[in-house]
Amino acid sequence: MSKKILITGAGTGIGRDAAFALAARGHQVWATTFDAAQAEALQRDVTAQALPIQVFKLDITSEADRALAVPLALDVLINNAGVGESGALAEVPMDRVRHAFEVNVFATLALTQTVLRGMVARERGTVLLVSSIAGRIPVPFLMPYGMTKFALSAAGAGLRAEMDRLHKNIHIALIEPGAIHTGFNQAMTARKYDWMDEHSYFWPLRERLKAEEQRSFDFLEARDTRSIVAQIVKAAQARRPRLRYVAPRIQGWLVRLARILGV
């Protein structure tokens, strides 16, 4: 059955590929981006591939932009928009942490509340929250981002329990990608070097940190988005989605093992 689906943060990476995959399966898809320039670039790709996708700018931190989702009468909302931030918690500038929470948690919840009003009125709908494996286990120097994903994962589990008491046909699920090569992880880990200087505790270790990060990318990152896009499609199409969808699967196993071992 075709569904009306809106996905945020669809200009690149996982969001873009998920929008294309859902449209290819016959769903009516609205692919939204943070700004107009991204929307124009995405529209060119959509037109080139002749996909039935409508593209527009939706900055989730803007109340006016969030309101654009209301008249669409969505069956599925995919909260994929987010920002990355890195750095040691002992010294990361607090304005960067606040901004990460503003986008990844507060604005995501605000859009969810906006869309849920219609879903509750229609007594059906699915909301997917794109969290992260980084929201399951602490990762040094990625906690400004990881904390937001811990919060989002907790919010998703709690919201699911609340909606279950309200109406059995309104579903909440978490999408938890691991390390996937889209450029997002590289840009996020590099952000701390924008503000680190000789006064940083970790300035003398910066070259070692960069080498460790590169080794981690080489070892862990999946080469493409296919595994996580398949999970997003599965969750969006499910009659009753389960709570968590994790991919790549091997990274999910590694996280569970690390938690068991207390690493």
Cβ neighbours of 157 (radius 10 Å): 16
Residue 14 and residue 225 in contact, taking contact as beta carbons nearer than 8 Å: yes
Q: Is 55 helix (H, G, I), strand (E, B) or coil?
A: strand
Which among 145, 193, 201, 245 is annotated as catalytic? 145
Show Cβ contacts of residue 169 under 8 Å, excluding neighbours closer than 6 positions.
Answer: 123, 124, 125
Distance of CA 46 to the CA centre of its chain: 21
Assigned token pair, 219: 């070892």
145 catalytic per annotation: yes
Give the active site residues.
Answer: 145
